[in-house]
Structure 1
């Protein structure tokens, strides 16, 4: 047997060749991996549909988000899948409607005075079951670094649901204070007086700097502008001296909005500085409508906690320079659509997933989606926030047990206590003032049949048991 003898020079030459080959393969692998965009999902808390200047506010100043809007696809009919925090977030991150996961509200479903509740509502779940597949878990499996910086509200620990990094996410629905010490277990307190929205943005900027060479999903759900209403003194003073607008005059709330806008601008500027903006999809939205006693959403009716338009319609912008053409669309979409949209955008197979949302990719590419019904289900009670301001069905509750749906320009409400229906044409009546249930019997019958079939299809609970405490 002949044994080959290699010189040291030959071995060195081979080693160098192998290193070059390995580097080339690594570069190609990285190129293949990084052609997918980074994703930043910014979710404001309780920010109303009309609480930004580009959405029509004449009081709040949001120059950074206005600039983003000019470079984005704006949805004027963007919806949250629920009218308050936890259920909306559960729907968004699972792509599933409320009957699937059972989170219908925050806390108990028996809200309000027991003697004014006609039926026993469906029990509410306060923790997202870990059997549900979440968006961050799918993105993590696809090679993305996943981070949440801000409000979680679906369990004690978001790291169990697909996130690699958590800064500030707990079961808390709002901060005890917007000024440090925050008393948020998952976020170390800063210097006394540090403002929470500033701090979360600092954390987000650090994340970008540290992971600029990785594919990442950054979920940035600000606690702002949820109560308690607290803001830096300088901004509060500014709005205290500014001329008020009808229904929008709260100086502290306005200051919170402008501070959030400033921080969104800081984050977007950092993307440009790091040369990440051209390969980053930024989505901006709110988890539900704003509290009407704090800020009116006229012409929309009501606000947070209600399934009239003011409680579920929200600002929504998709921004990806060079890939998504700036435009304004009236296409009705919901935050449940984010999950399938991102999977389609990234060419990730979603065939094995159960998703109630539909891909918005045709709209992002400049087209339209087929007309489809949107459904909301809330077999729970939510007490009034302000009887004079809420604009709810009655002064006692923002929500009584029921379902709602939208098909085209038509909106249907069903109330389970007495099986009453309300029908509105949103094109002619965006404020949902003229109930057409009696004058449009054919449309009422069509939508009722669709809604009841959907309730059966998703096994939606329809409570009917009388409440013995009701007189």
Structure 2
């Protein structure tokens, strides 16, 4: 059943050298070769939706598992929001969604209709948010282009305007597409939050139909391989943003049959095959050692995230903690692991510093570069990370804000003003609210969270006058 790949064989010698000594750093930014960067951003992939986590029997991800074995697994990685568009905006800008004023997914049904629908019967009305990524924001792609990188965006963008379901091709305003935000290539990126079809014809104005019945995940994998081939002399930055595993659940019939009708598991297998396709190409071109590959998800999974509580749309761990792998054989120690909390805002400064740039030249960045963790050199100071989500969701605890620092996490719900305090080291499932038992820690984190909200001028929900 498993698809055999070439790239794991090439990893063995490289990985052994990394394991036999301390992790090497990638400090030689002035060398003739700059590090290529491949970011694989999956849509709605849950914390336990990968084989290496060993939480869901039947998940088949040999290529992703090999990627994890070849590099560093981050056990406490977070998305900047429990839904997709804000995480994507955060990735592009290196800022928290609250700072960018894009805190919720951009609705395909249109902003006004969405706000009315979600606010109906609620004490508070949905907080204000933008329907696109402003062109005034400097993106990570624009910063990397200044360092000489060729940039490619392949897949889901969802930062290009409201009301995509009323379009025939997903294009609401092409001025908000990736090619206007620093990407040399855009294939698939438009206003769609989910594909109109997972099979060709795609009804996507940024993908040329090629062969009727072709599967979208395979097509995007092919396009990623082509981009790598065409830019093998480097340096390049490739953001492969799969539409899978977002609804509507859909996969080739033969793959679905292998899983006795489980379309979700079938979609994950197709995702894995295309991760393998990308890694095969990097191996074939002898680029593995000079390419950092990052595997990540834009928010928690929709179909269960054990042992975490909650799912996509909630501020519980299941809505925001995601799988994350960083691999660069020979530079990052194979089989390594980090439990340091990291989040979306960290990617911009990390990629920039790896490319030879300086995060200090972009004073708006709100994350930290992760080289000390990734390459095993230097310290990494504990810091707080934040979420601001003034939006109603049916999945559970939402319409609130959260902070994590060290082992502690605090959530404040806006409608009830109830405060939840959890020690994640002892209570990963967030079952025991320690707010009353530990008022000092509660007040400390609450003050820090509210101070941050004021600092970034976070948009707050207003009283719902419809009630």
**Please, which moves more after superposition, 102-111 or 346-355?**
102-111
Please tell me whether residue 323 in structure 1 is matched to residue 326 in structure 2. Answer: no
* Matched position secondary structure for 2:387: strand
- Of 337, 351, 359, 2:369 maps to 359
* Match of residue 132 from structure 2: 127
Change (3 A) 1:369 1:466: same
The 2-side partners of 1:86 and 1:343 are apart by 22
Question: 1:308 deviation in Å?
Answer: 0.6
**SS across alignment from 2:125:** coil
SS at match of 1:86: helix
Which residue in 1 is equivalent to 2:91? 92
- Give distance in 1, aligned partners of 2:319 and 2:118: 22
- Confirm or deny that 1:468 pairs with 2:450: no
Q: CA deviation at 1:261?
A: 0.2
Query: Post-superposition shift, 1:112?
Result: 4.4
Moved more, 350-359 or 107-116: 107-116
Judge conservation of contact 2:35–2:354 (CA < 8 Å) in 1: no
- Calculate the aligned-residue CA RMSD, in Å: 1.6
Question: 1:257-278 CA deviation, whole Å, 9 max, x = no partner?
Answer: 0011011101101111111111
Paired with 1:413 and 1:323, the residues of 2 have a C-alpha distance of 37
- Confirm or deny that 1:138 pairs with 2:158: no
Instruction: Classify the secondary structure of the residue corresponding to 2:322.
Output: coil
CA distance in 2, matches of 1:436, 1:214: 51
User: Secondary structure in 2 aligned to 1:237?
Assistant: helix
Name 1:310's counterpart in structure 2: 318
Q: CA deviation at 1:361?
A: 1.1
2:127 and 2:390 in contact (8 A); partners too: yes
Q: 1:265 aligns with which of 259, 272, 276?
A: 276
Task: State whether structure 2 residue 145 is matched by structure 1 residue 148.
Answer: no
Give the Å deviation of 1:100. Answer: 1.4
Aligned to 2:433: 435
**Contact 1:84 1:304 survives alignment (8 Å):** yes
Does the alignment pair 1:341 with 2:339?
A: no
1:189 lines up with 2:209 in the alignment? yes
Partner SS, residue 110 of structure 1? helix
For the 8 Å contact 1:110–1:381, the answer to whether it is kept is: no
Tell me the distance in 2 between the aligned counterparts of 1:447 and 1:112.
33
User: Could you list the per-position Cα deviations for residues 56-111 of structure 1 after superposition, in whole angstroms to 9, with x for gaps in the alignment?
Assistant: 23221100111111001110000000111100000011110012111111224726
Shift of 1:286: 0.6
Q: Please name the residue that 2:51 is paired with.
A: 53
Structure 2 Cα separation of the partners of residues 127 and 356 of structure 1? 20
Structure 2 unpaired stretches of 5+: 1-28, 161-173
How far has the Cα of 1:115 moved from its partner? 3.7
Q: CA deviation at 1:123?
A: 1.5
Paired position in structure 1 for 2:456: 458
Tell me if structure 2 keeps the 8 A contact 1:34–1:215: no
Deviation of the 1:328 alpha carbon: 1.1
> CA shift at 1:114, angstroms?
3.6
Moved over 3 A (4+): 31-34, 111-115
What is the DSSP-based 3-state SS (H/G/I as helix, E as strand, rest coil) of the residue aligned with 1:284? strand
Provide the rounded CA distance (Å) in 2 between the counterparts of 1:148 and 1:343: 17
Where 2:415 maps in the other structure, the secondary structure is coil
**Where does residue 21 of structure 1 map in the other structure?**
none
SS at match of 1:376: strand
1:73 equivalent in structure 2: 72
- Higher alpha-carbon Rg: 1
| Partner-residue secondary structure (3-state), 2:243 | coil
- How far apart, CA to CA, are the structure 2 residues paired with 1:111 and 1:461? 17
Of 405, 408, 414, the match for 1:407:
405
8 A contact 1:111–1:381 mirrored in 2: no
> TM-score normalized by structure 1?
0.85
Corresponding residue for residue 275 of structure 1: 286
The SS at the match of 1:351 is: helix
Q: TM-score, normalised by structure 2?
A: 0.86
For residues 164-243 of structure 1, the aligned pairs below 5 Å read: 164-240=184-260
